[in-house]
Amino acid sequence: MIVRTLSDANQSNRRVVSPDGNWESTRLLLKEDQMGFSFHITTIYKDADFQMHYQNHLESVYCVSGKGEVETLADGKKYPIEPGTIYILDKHDKHVLRAFEEMVMACVFNPPLNGKEVHNAEGAYELDAATIED
């Protein structure tokens, strides 16, 4: 059994802050845990507006708190995000995330992240990123 607390993980190298200042993410479950997915609590800062395109991962995102929107770039559709909303990037969707308020999101990635990932120039995470121990 694996047991971790968010408060402990926030004080460790499992907390990653984006270099662009849009978000921070505490990676509670990673590839090294051998569960087949990773689980993160991610805070998207107010007024963040950035493009992502997870070419190597599928992601599900559940909004715990805050308000914003996600826009799918293939069709320009905008979807409101508020507590209780889940969006699922099941087709490696290129998208823009906007935070009208600070948003706390619970995120699941498949395949699992290693721990140190931040978005590359395409807005994706690399498959061979460093682990939290590197």
Indicate the fold that domain 22-110 takes in CATH.
Jelly Rolls (2.60.120)
| Domain segments of the chain as ranges | 22-110
* Residue 83 binned pLDDT confidence (cut-offs 50, 70, 90): very high
**Chain segment 27-78, per-residue pLDDT in tens:** 999 999 999 999 999 999 999 999 999 889 999 999 999 999 999 999 999 9
User: Which are the contacts of 41, defined by CB distance < 8 A and separation ≥ 6?
Assistant: 6, 25, 26, 28, 64, 104, 105, 106, 107
The percent of residues in the chain predicted with pLDDT above 70, rounded, is 99
The pTM (predicted TM-score) of the whole model is: 0.92
End-to-end CA distance of the chain: 24
pLDDT of 16 above 70? yes
* Residue 134 binned pLDDT confidence (cut-offs 50, 70, 90): low
